[in-house]
Amino acid sequence: MPVLSHFRSLILNVRYFKFGLMAAAIFLLVACEKGRSAKPMPLTSEMETLEFLAPDCASGDDCTSVAITREVFAGQPALNEAIQRQLLQQLQGNGGESGTTGDGSLEDVAEAFIAEAAQAADISAAPWDLSGEAKTLGRRGNLLTVEVSTYIYSGGAHGMPATHWLNWDLTADKEVTLDDVIKPQQEMAFWELVEAAHKRWLDKQKADDDFRNNWPFARTEDFRFDDEGMVLLYGVYTLAPYSSGFVELKVPREALNTVVLAPYLAQK
């Protein structure tokens, strides 16, 4: 009987050993698959341009014109749709602040703009201008940043530019927002770092007390990563007057380690 028990125990140990080997093999396969998915995905694209002029107009310098250029990515329908939706929002309302949904087509927006300019021809002597561009700004691993920029001139002293940075996770096939990259319960600490960057920017501009009081700190949703850390983008009239243009605040990489999720800082 002791010999039989020992034999049975030996068989069980062999079975457990085989099971352990199978589990280890499965783990290694999954790890390899994750490793493969983390590698930079191949990405190809081409530029698409749409140009429109008011009827009976030979040159865009003399009449209302619309010019839209966008980068179209092969095999990335969700990304292309997100870019078009953002373009539509900005072309209709400077970044979407007016509540536009981004529905319709670029052709519809162009036709509506030209028609509106024709109705205002009697009160606006200067030709109206609408332009938009969407192109790759940078890529870190599988995190792609697309810059969507628009400009609308419909009379007055100057037009209105708008720029949005669209961050896209090529692996998950979805947009990445600030909420996605900030560690849980670290939002306040994150914005304290950005506010400190704003103070450094003010000091660099040699801003006086009046400027600091008239243009206080504000939050933004536009960001991107670079080799030095994170860059946050602010539109005109947000942190400074129109003449200052867009403002970029930079938070160094070493300061982000405690507030930003590690995978986003590790990508290059």
Q: pLDDT by residue for the chain (268 residues), tens digit each?
A: 444 444 344 344 434 444 444 444 444 333 433 433 467 788 999 999 999 999 978 765 789 999 999 999 999 999 999 999 999 999 997 554 444 556 789 999 999 999 999 998 878 778 999 999 999 999 999 999 999 999 999 998 899 999 999 999 999 999 999 999 999 999 999 999 999 999 999 999 999 999 999 999 999 999 999 999 999 999 999 999 999 999 999 999 999 999 999 999 987 7
Q: Which of 176, 202, 233 is the last residue of a domain?
A: 176
State which residues form the domain around 52: 45-176
Q: Which of 132, 149, 176 is the last residue of a domain?
A: 176
Nearest alpha carbon to residue 165 among 130, 140, 193, 134: 134
Task: Quote the number of domains for the chain.
Answer: 2
Tell me the C-alpha to C-alpha distance, in Å, between residue 210 and each of 29, 40, 215, 240: 62, 48, 8, 12
Q: Which of 176, 200, 216 is the last residue of a domain?
A: 176
